[in-house]
Amino acid sequence: MTPILAKSEAAELIVAARIRKKLTWAAIAEEIDAPVVWCVAALLGQHPVPAGQAERVCALLDLDATVAESLQRQPSRGIEPGSASDPTIYRFHEALAVYGPALKELIHEEFGDGIM
């Protein structure tokens, strides 16, 4: 039995196909009727994609069913260790380090202790 394609490999195929077809992330999101930020995160492997949307993405990008199958799997969320050195991602980490405790206090004040 062939293993399911890793989400990271599926993401690489999606990015390559998107670039070669000269499609924007917004165009792909519109095609699958999803918010653009969610769409990009999902196609980069951070969310499971419902079957219908996964199939539409693969049809749009001329990718086979192994990519659609991979997109539907539950992810291991987070960022890869090397991406923390990317300047944009580092600034997001910095912003969270600066404002995280304040946001936590406001969430607890407004909604109480627990998962937000």
Residue range 85-108, pLDDT digits in tens: 788 888 888 888 888 878 887 888
Residue with tokens 């300047």: 87
User: What are residue 49's phi and psi, to 5 degrees?
Assistant: -110, 125
19 with 60, same domain? yes
20 with 40, same domain? yes
Residue range 55-87, pLDDT digits in tens: 999 999 999 999 999 999 998 877 666 677 788
CATH of the domain at 60: 1.10.260.40
Supply the pLDDT for residue 90: 83
Report the predicted TM-score, pTM, of the whole model to 2 decimal places: 0.77
Q: How many structural domains comprise the chain?
A: 2
Supply the pLDDT for residue 79: 66
Range of the domain at 86: 81-111
**What is the rounded average pLDDT of the residues 31-44?**
95
Give yes or no for residue 25 having a pLDDT over 70. Answer: yes
Closest CA to 25 of 7, 37, 16: 37
